[in-house]
A and B are shown apart, each in its own frame.
Chain A
């Protein structure tokens, strides 16, 4: 399939979408991490730390994805990243619910 390329914009917008997602995930990670730290729950703090690492990995993937798309117009999307991200959201939801229940318990 031949198509007009806009080499700058599409990869750039996609990178920005990945970075925004990484930022929001980092914010959620910090909230979970904070509750784990304040309530002295190593498990919850570790989950927060894991989510923060996932945010860093997400951003790195966005940068890599951008350069891959710029070098090849048919760079595959990487199903495992999408799947992994859905799992991370579920983990983050678990961390959030855990934080809420911990706070409710005093």
Chain B
């Protein structure tokens, strides 16, 4: 059961409300990742005239890769928070929000340029 002992979720009893809050935060990140994937497929299938095919493919694949990365980041975040709560330490900082914000802002800027360019 050595592997089980490593599991931060089983190591020590914790106020269940904190466990559930961490769980819901993890799920919220997962949904954000899944929304990026829906954006990737939607961009590809619903906006055939937005940009030349290579540009659309690059944007869509970038969104998909971002979604995958965010899914993995969500898991690591969940583990780290779970560990910190059990150790009674401060919650770990995360750069994920900053990275996500910058990525979404860049994507929005690119889409704006494409939409304006198309309407000319």
A-side interface residues toward B, CB under 8 Å? 1, 3, 6, 10-11, 13-14, 17-18, 20-21, 24-25, 27-28, 31-32, 35, 69, 73-79, 82-83, 85-86, 88-90, 92-94, 96-97, 99-101, 103-104
Residues of A within 8 A of B67 (CB): 89, 92-93, 96
A90 to B10, CA, bound (A): 26
25 residue pairs A–B, Cβ–Cβ below 8 Å = A1-B15, A10-B20, A17-B28, A20-B27, A21-B31, A21-B34, A24-B34, A24-B35, A73-B16, A77-B9, A78-B9, A79-B7, A82-B75, A85-B30, A86-B30, A88-B71, A90-B68, A92-B67, A93-B64, A93-B65, A96-B37, A97-B61, A99-B45, A104-B56, A104-B57
A17 to B29, CA, bound (A): 11
Q: Is the CB of A10 within 8 A of B16?
A: yes
The 4 closest A-B pairs by CB, nearest first: A89-B71, A93-B68, A86-B75, A97-B64
A94 to B71, CA, bound (A): 12
- Chain B 76-90: CB-based contact to A (< 8 A → 1; otherwise 0): 001100100000000
- Which B21-66 residues sit within 8 Å CB-CB of chain A? 22-24, 26-28, 30-31, 33-35, 37-38, 40-42, 44-45, 53-54, 56-57, 60-61, 63-65
Q: Give the number of residues in B that approach A within 8 Å (Cβ atoms).
A: 48
Main secondary structure of the interface of A (DSSP, over half): helix
Q: Is the CB of B38 within 8 A of A28?
A: yes
A97 to B75, CA, bound (A): 21
Beta-carbon nearest neighbor of A101 in chain B: B57
Residues of B within 8 A of A94 (CB): 64, 68
Given A3-B17, A79-B8, A94-B68, the answer on whether A18 and B27 have CB atoms closer than 8 Å is yes
